[in-house]
Chains A and B, each alone.
Chain A
Amino acid sequence: MVAMTMVIVVVAIFVLYPVFYLLQAAFDVGPAEVRPPAAYGFDNFSALGKYWEIMLNTLVVTFAATIMALTFGFLTAWILTRTNVPFQRTLEQLMAVPYYVTPLLGALAWNFLGAPESGFINQVWRAGGGQGALIDITSAVGIAWVMALFEGSVAFVMIGAVMKSMDPALEEASQMSGAGRWRAMLRITLPLVAPGVLGAAIFVFAEMLGSFSAALVLGTPARFYVITTAIYQFVSQYPPRLPLAAALGVSLFAVMFGMLYLYRRITANRSFVTISGKAFRPRAIDMGWLRWVLFAVCAGYVFLSVLLPIATLVFASFQKLAVAWPAADNFTLDNYRTALSLNAVRSALSNSLFLGLLTATIGVVLTGLLAWIIQRSRLPGRGVLEYIVMFPQAVPRLVFAFGMMWAWLAFPIPIYGTFWILLIAYLTVFLPLGVRTISGVIMQLDKSLEECGQVCGASWSFRVRTIVAPLLWPGILAAWLLIFVASVRELGASILLMGPDSKVMTPAIAEAFFSTSSELTAAMALIQTVVVAAAMVVFTLMTRRAAVHGA
């Protein structure tokens, strides 16, 4: 009981303390050096009017990206759940991969592919007699394209879940009453999945609003800013314009918060009770020869979001000058040699791995406890706790980090610029991820499994050891992996919070992109990808062996 209360208090401080400082900075209109602020007002917000172009950019990119991501998600979800597409299972597994290939990686790769002058695709186009650039990945639509490729797999998971949970009897009933199959699709299926798709749209839109890395890599060199990159610019330029950055961050956060609130309302009050929780295999529509076309659509998506970017980076990382036509004397191992010899890279990589291990391990214990309190305990404040825990979801990580920077600068213990502030930041921003993952497993567990232990006379700690923890184990492992991967590739929060002695890998890659060659950057990005993948494999093998030995 006391332990639980302490956990709640600590979490509340982690989450709310930076938000408080963020708000304080946004409304601070006094002299910049005076803290706490001498005067409050809305001047910082009215000053944002000058930057309407950034808002417009953000809207264009976000809308375009959302529409594209939903198109990818809806098409692939429909194909994979409702048609007899060949290799359905394999495709379904492959659909998760884009999520692990980060947008940063994608942006670096698509920069090689689609930069207006030097992009491979444009070079081929011109060599084939074309004029100018076929595609411009640094344009608003180009940035949106890269963002959408990776968010598409999130949309796929969300829309796929809705389609899977639909009772096929509803469509069959429509067919039995004489309506054709396509009519059933239009009149029954679409209206039934509409709320789920709308929910996914809002969720994806909010995520896109707060996304950072694609716009950073592709937009910034051409001075094309969206809100997140503008905030970063305001903070990192000299002299920094912190109040402006804070105001921009608060505005963005307000919009995202509103959208996520809407999302929760839509998904919570789903009046379409017919989409029941029963498990059934939705009826697959026989598409005839068209199914090979549908297969090509899904395979094409995986190709564009995973294979092509990785292949591009691999190719580029072995070139002296990637934008030149392939030639034998252009081949080099120097990029890898340089990357591996750079002290900054080596320490950043080991820092990242160590932080990932620490974040994931502390994170699963923390989020496991929180998920359990939220789902199962009768603690009075647990409703509020759920909101607090899910709160970081509504704050772009960059904005959150800004609040933390401000907050921990004022904190009596000097942790700003150290490793520890990164740990705290990761633990906080990944709270929703961990809690959501473990809650999902808890919700599937029959409550009476634990109650039975209680009635048998087992104390709380004995029950946790013998019943709760073993049953939650798969969820805990999944959460560990997700948090680990998310931490190691984190950019938005790390880029603001890492100090000169606490460099981590992803921001180091982004910095390398701006300060060194893009071929070296490609090598660094691939090294990170391989190391993360290897760590995941090792972890999976270890836990599987432990499970075998334990049984």
Chain B
Amino acid sequence: MADSDRAPEIEVEDLVIRYGAVAAVGPVNFSVTQGEQLTLLGPSGCGKTTTLRAIAGLERPTAGAIRIRGDTVFDASRRINMPAERRGLSMVFQSYAIWPHMTVFENVAYGLRVRNASAAEIDEKVRHALDLVKMGAYASRNASQLSGGQQQRVAVARACAFSPKVLLFDEPLSNLDAKLRAQMRIELRELQHRLGVTSVYVTHDLEEALAMSDRIIVMRGGHIEQAGPAADIYNYPRTAFVADFVGSANLISGRLRADLARDGLIALEADAGRILYGEARGREAGPTPTMSVRTVHLQLNATQPAASINVWPVRVRRTVFLGDLTQVHVEWGGRELVVRQTASTAPAEGSTAYLSIDPARCVLLEADAATEAEQAPPPPTPPIVADLPIE
């Protein structure tokens, strides 16, 4: 875990990157502490890659400053821009960028050769790096003969071989098939822990972000939407966008009833006068107060639970079998809510059940800057179920 007393390894300050008139990124501010694993998460085109490339020195920002271990590597106002080759970082590219005209060994040895390491040192470190990614047997293989997964491993070995302090990853798993991706996710995480390096990881895949990182920054349209530990991002999304993006959630809008608030909980009156209790977590509601509840945090009970709040009888409209989970659509105060639960306990369609929600799982959302600006209509009555982001 990131300790707040550790020194920052990377600091990004008021970073703005424009392409012509279009602002691709910023301004954004964040820092990464030593040994921390940070993930930039967001939909395609939100500026993750651009931000990462600016840190690497491959993209020239328009404004702001970047510091690495206290050294300013970029500062627009002081006209400092250290070239990428002198920043001492390392990067795994989305396309792997394995050099097809070299062997696996030569690929991995490149960074050491650049640093004029001795032959013995090169040999030892390359073997070590290849062993780390279980590619030791392939050292003399021609790089153009590798499969996608093998290329990915070589790319990681190459990035680690010269013992950089910081590793940057740009969607390193997005070109692998689902099964390999799940496996590599674990391996990369282990590797990061073993090496203890600071890493910045870019992905649009929620599961990957949750698995890979201590801290997640959710980006949208070039801005930071929410930053925090992985569990916080998942459990307490700050805006409708994050709730949407970070997994499926029910968004329930209504008006706040301060008069009904109790036990540190706030009360939201939804359509048909239903009162939903939840947590504000110090947030200010927007013009259309909205709460978010993850679909897996709704419970369907055959008998009436004992709790006095957040319990309603509901009619089951439809059940959809999804394998590990069953998705149940229930009628709730003139609209639909979506419940996901383990497959075995699903009620029959048309039957009646008791819906209960733990108030600690209902979280008030802040006004969504972008949607407010766009004058978007309030959420419609059908449930807003945001599925896991699929690209």
Contacts and interface: CB of A to CB of B under 8 A. Distances in A.
Interface of A: 378, 446, 448-449, 451-459, 462, 466-467, 470-471
B97 interface: yes
B95 A456 contact: no
A294 to B, nearest CB: 37
Interface in B92-108: 93-95, 97, 99-101
A446 B96 CA distance: 10
Given A454-B58, A456-B110, A457-B111, A448 B85 contact: no
Interface in B348-368: none
Contact of A451 (B93, B110, B115): B93
9 interchain residue pairs of minimum CB distance: A448-B97, A456-B111, A452-B97, A448-B93, A454-B84, A455-B91, A457-B114, A458-B114, A470-B101
A378 B86 CA distance: 18
Contacts of A466: 110
A424 to B, nearest CB: 34
Contacts, number: 61
Nearest to A551: B101
A43 B90 CA distance: 66
25 contacts: A446-B97, A448-B93, A448-B94, A448-B95, A449-B97, A449-B99, A451-B91, A451-B97, A452-B93, A453-B110, A454-B58, A454-B84, A454-B85, A455-B57, A455-B58, A455-B84, A455-B89, A456-B85, A456-B90, A456-B110, A457-B111, A457-B114, A462-B114, A470-B101, A471-B101
B156 to A, nearest CB: 12
A451 B168 CA distance: 13
B87 to A, nearest CB: 8
Given A448-B93, A452-B99, A455-B87, 18 more contacts: A446-B95, A451-B58, A452-B91, A452-B93, A452-B97, A454-B84, A454-B85, A455-B56, A455-B58, A455-B84, A456-B162, A457-B85, A457-B114, A457-B115, A462-B114, A470-B101, A471-B99, A471-B101
Contacts of B162: 456-457
Nearest to A463: B85
Interface in B53-72: 56-58, 60
Nearest to B111: A456
A446 B124 CA distance: 30
A185 B97 CA distance: 40
B223 interface: no
Nearest to A450: B97
B158 interface: yes
Among B60, B114, B168: residue with most chain A CB under 10 A: B114
Interface string B144-183: 0000000000000010001000001000000000000000
A466 to B, nearest CB: 7
B86 A457 contact: yes
Nearest to A378: B60
B83 interface: yes
B286 interface: no
B88 interface: yes
Contacts of B85: 454-459
Contacts of A454: 57-58, 83-85
Contacts of A470: 101
A446 B95 CA distance: 8
Contacts of A458: 85, 110, 114
Nearest to B142: A551
A126 to B, nearest CB: 62
A454 B111 CA distance: 9
B186 to A, nearest CB: 25
B11 to A, nearest CB: 19
Contact of B90 (A448, A449, A455): A455
Nearest to B89: A455
Contacts of A471: 99-101
Contacts of A449: 97, 99
A448 B84 CA distance: 13
A125 B56 CA distance: 76
A483 to B, nearest CB: 24
